[in-house]
Chain A
Amino acid sequence: MADRPLPRIDEESRGYWEAARRHELLLQRCRACGAFCHHPRAVCPECLSSDIDWVVSPGRGEIYTFTVTYQNQSPGFSGRVPYVLAYVLLEEGIQILTNIVDVVPEEVRIGQAVEVCFEDLSEEISIPTFRVI
């Protein structure tokens, strides 16, 4: 959608966004300490190692919390309300801020099982979103 804010890709996040373009959800995992990490960082915040790996997440989890947004004057969102902003708790134990899509907003509940899907925002950018399963 026009005017929707697009993620600014940098050297720490490029792998994540390139995968999202392929409709794959990647999480970082530190080879040194094994910790998962989101958002992506070049240095593991748990152990400060630079030996970071990408792993493909199956993108399954449950809704940790959510809010149905009825008012947002920002470009790209004013015409989209109501929409659901949520934290999804992935099976890997990582929470990810996202939208719950393809749903009647008022029917969303905490604890619902969800799976990743992707929304194409531009030729280069797709973002992971989730739908109720």
Chain B
Amino acid sequence: MSSLHDIAVVGAYEHPTRFAPNRTAYQIAAESARGALEDAGLTMADVDGYATSGVGPMGVLSMCHHLNLQPDWVDSTSIGGSSFVAQVANAGAAIQAGLCSTVLITYGSTAASDRFAVGTGGGMSGDPTDAFVLPYGPTIVGAYGLVAQRHMHEFGTTAEQLAEVAVTMRHHASLNPRAKYRNRITVEDVLASRLVSSPLHLLDCCLISDGGGALVVTSVERARDLRQKPVVVLGSGQAVRHSGVGRRDILDIAARQSGARAFAQAGLSPADIDFCMIYDSFTITVLATLENLGFCAMGEGGPFVEDGGIGLGGRLPLNLDGGGLSSNHPGMRGIFLVIEAVRQLRHAAGDRQVAGARTALCHGTGGWLGVMQSGATLILREG
């Protein structure tokens, strides 16, 4: 299997804002572009490829207009919050194919100041499946609740084990000065928070914030002349899951397929990974993803996260920034998975640094886990 080993992330920037009523989403994206290019030691004149998502059907054109970019390659992959993880690989493939040489990826959102009900709203589009879903009142939280309930039924997973994920993310957030919620919580706090859609409590759910970020991707060869030590892309994979013709195992998620491809491409196995950045839209997302990526057997996700297993210093440190559960979640969190992985692989993560971190796995889940979802996996290594 061919690989992306000669592709690197050379610039990364996370916008510090968590609530930005006086900024537009486009502004947050532009400020993030500035940050990532400065980080890389590049300018807009170096950018000949551009990717974004979450800005509407032709929003990539509006964003190009806003940034006054006329790139040779654009990508507006729209598969939910995992889009930006997928776009790192897409950018690498485009560079390898000679379509462009340096790709800027941006994200900006004002979900919180717009008071956008990310998790508990809904609306009918023209999609054929909507007619068979929306009249029943699904919410995003509910779609993940369907998965959590089945996981508990098949494997005996407990609410306490799910809560452990939220508690660990909050611990990591307490070490991140920019995280939205930094006060420590306990398993009891999670269980005492109100049920939003059973079995998921409020503190099993990601927060809603404003925010954004940007990445710069180029060839390893080009990266040698740049400001930062490159972070090399070892492997990647993308996948989708849905209910097909009406038969599926709801616990078999896209991560199984995208992860297998990423590991094969990297020539690595889960044992080679020093830490993970896993989209934690909800606590169940982390358990299901760990199992489907092969970090533990199916059904073993609950025990795996107990006893500090995914905490800093644990078996597999996970989401060191505090994740979507505690740091930031403007609706599509995938870009932050890669940004924090880059920070960790540069050994620049301060109090939350994973000692000796060399190899990372990022996995983004997009869409609604129990209804229709995407998965995008990246395996990264310090260059």
Report yes or no: A69 in contact with B150, Cβ–Cβ below 8 A: no
Report yes or no: A71 in contact with B139, Cβ–Cβ below 8 A: yes
User: Which residue in B150, B200, B244 is a CB contact (below 8 Å) of A110?
Assistant: B150
Kindly identify, within residues 66 to 94 of chain A, every residue whose CB is under 8 Å from any CB belonging to chain B.
66-74, 76-77, 80, 83, 85-87, 93-94
Report yes or no: B135 in contact with A121, Cβ–Cβ below 8 A: yes
Count class of interface residues, chain B:
35 or more
| Highest count of chain A CB atoms <10 Å: which of B130, B137, B150, B199 | B137
Contact (A74, B196) CB under 8 Å given A39-B132, A87-B146, A95-B248: no
Asked if A97 is an interface residue, CB under 8 A from chain B, the answer is yes
Kindly identify, within residues 141 to 163 of chain B, every residue whose CB is under 8 Å from any CB belonging to chain A.
141-142, 145-150, 153
Kindly identify, within residues 305 to 324 of chain B, every residue whose CB is under 8 Å from any CB belonging to chain A.
none
Query: How many Cβ-Cβ contacts under 8 Å join chain A to chain B?
Result: 141
The interface residues of chain A lying within 8 Å CB-to-CB of B137 are 69, 72, 74, 76-77, 80, 83, 85, 99
Report yes or no: A12 in contact with B247, Cβ–Cβ below 8 A: no
Asked if B303 is an interface residue, CB under 8 A from chain A, the answer is no
- Least CB distance from A99 to B in Å reads 5
Report yes or no: A7 in contact with B198, Cβ–Cβ below 8 A: no
* Stretch of B45-53, B61-69, B119-127, B265-273 that contacts chain A: B119-127
Contact (A68, B124) CB under 8 Å given A74-B137, A97-B371: no
- Least CB distance from B103 to A in Å reads 35
Report yes or no: A9 in contact with B245, Cβ–Cβ below 8 A: no
Asked if A58 is an interface residue, CB under 8 A from chain B, the answer is no
The interface residues of chain A lying within 8 Å CB-to-CB of B24 are none
Which A positions have Cβ atoms within 8 angstroms of B? Answer: 4-10, 12-13, 17, 35-39, 41, 45-46, 64-74, 76-77, 80, 83, 85-87, 93-99, 110-111, 121, 127, 129
9 further contact pairs, Cβ within 8 A, besides A35-B245, A77-B122: A8-B130, A9-B131, A39-B246, A70-B195, A72-B139, A73-B121, A74-B121, A97-B133, A127-B136
Shortest beta-carbon contacts, A-B, top 10: A67-B145, A7-B131, A94-B246, A65-B150, A38-B246, A68-B198, A37-B245, A77-B137, A39-B132, A110-B153
